[in-house]
Amino acid sequence: MSMEQYKTQKADRPDLSDLDVAQPLGYIGGKIFPTATVYQKSGTINYQGLEADSAAQTNRSLGAAPASNVVAEATTSFTCGERIKRYIVDWTRVASYGGIEASDKLGAKSAKRSVLNSLETAQIAALIDDVGTDISSNIVEGIIAGAYSVRRYTGKLAFVCNQGTYRWMIQQTAFKNLMLRSMGGLSAAEAMSFSPAVFKATLQGLFRFDEVLIGDDSYWPGTLTYTAAICKIPDGVDTESYLIEPEIGRTLVYLPSDDTAEQFTISSNPDENLRSNVYDAMVWDSVKQFNSGAKYLVRIGNVDDESSSSSESEGNNSSSSSLDSSSSSTSSSSSS
């Protein structure tokens, strides 16, 4: 039986590089640290730090030069490392996937997803790099303090957390009260379910966040599960705005030349030895934080403690005993 019809082409595949990969929650790291292109694998890059405010001079003497402040130069070194993943599809399986075109997409998307997962983990690690300030007992004031702290940095004001923190916050009475004030045109069903859309609307409406990003728990640093970030994130439109604006950082992606448009290189190859089609996805990158002051890390709750507290409350409620300190968890459970 001839296998020629099941063999892929041997080439770089820009047609496969733009394929969307199956990621239900979506990747958020690239929104926090958008791509900036570099043409060397290592080197030094300039960026703009936050210049301290200085009072304008008044009542200057005639003939005297105005007082001067020099804009400080800020640089950081970088080294782009390789992220690569290979998937293979046996020639005997190509027909069952619907032919070579579908098989190419399957192999390429599998490889690309692995690389994107690795990149997302690195980007979240650059953002969530400390425990942060515990605001569990006063979420509202903690969020206000965080937003105030980053106000002078350039970008969109964003609240970034994982699914676990999101679930903990929507069980809190204080946050449910905020939701009721900000539900606006949302339906009663949406308001009572406290979906991610309602959660985002609450933060955007009351705290004026431009973006609310909820990430996958699996990409969060293991010891910082309950840490979230209030930060300013670049809009990503101007790829070189970090040179003149104090931004949080960038994902530096190495491209060998101006002619290379795709940050992810995907190649395919029919391997006679493996009797399979081989798909490689690769990127060279360095995730760099430029201005740590553009983020304010907060620790919000403990999902395990909250779940335990909620279970105890439900047990007490079903046995008709009086409510104790777990009442807020019980209220959250019943309203959801």
Q: Tens digit of pLDDT for each residue in 110-154?
A: 999 999 999 999 999 999 999 999 999 889 899 999 999 999 999
HSE value, Cβ hemisphere, 13 Å, CA-based, for 193: 8
Query: For helices 139-149 and 173-182, what crossing angle results, to 10°?
Result: 70
Predicted pLDDT at 181: 66
pLDDT in tens, 48-100: 999 988 899 999 999 999 999 898 889 999 999 999 999 999 999 999 999 99
Mean pLDDT over 44-51 rounds to 96
The residues, any chain, with a CB within 8 Å of residue 237's CB and separated by 6 or more, are none
65 in any annotated domain = no
Predicted pLDDT at 250: 97
71 in any annotated domain = no
Can you tell me the distance from the alpha carbon of 272 to that of 33, in angstroms, rounded to the nearest whole number? 41
236 in any annotated domain = yes
Q: Are 318 and 152 in contact (CB under 8 A)?
A: no
Mean pLDDT over 291-312 rounds to 69
124 in any annotated domain = yes
pLDDT of 309 higher than 80? no
CA 47 to chain CA centroid, Å, is: 21
The single-letter DSSP state of residue 146 is H
Q: What are phi and psi of 108, to 5 degrees?
A: -70, -45
H-run or E-run covering 144:
helix 139-149
226 in any annotated domain = yes
237 in any annotated domain = yes
H-run or E-run covering 51:
none
Query: For helices 303-318 and 327-335, what crossing angle results, to 10°?
Result: 80
∠ CA 222-118-126, nearest 5°, is 60
| Tally of domains within the chain | 1
| CB under 8 A, 24+ apart: contacts of 196-204 | 196/166, 199/166, 199/169, 199/170, 202/175, 202/178, 203/143, 203/159
Structural domain harbouring 268 = 4-49+76-301
185 in any annotated domain = yes
CATH, residue 39:
3.90.1690.10
Q: How far is CA 102 from CA 88, 105, 226, 262, in A?
A: 14, 5, 40, 21
150 in any annotated domain = yes
Predicted pLDDT at 184: 55
pLDDT of 104 higher than 70? yes
The residues, any chain, with a CB within 8 Å of residue 9's CB and separated by 6 or more, are 268, 270
pLDDT in tens, 209-223: 999 999 999 999 989
Token match 């104090």: residue? Answer: 246
Give the three-state DSSP class for 224: helix
pLDDT in tens, 176-211: 777 776 665 555 555 555 678 778 888 888 889 999
Taking the model in full, what pTM does it have? 0.83
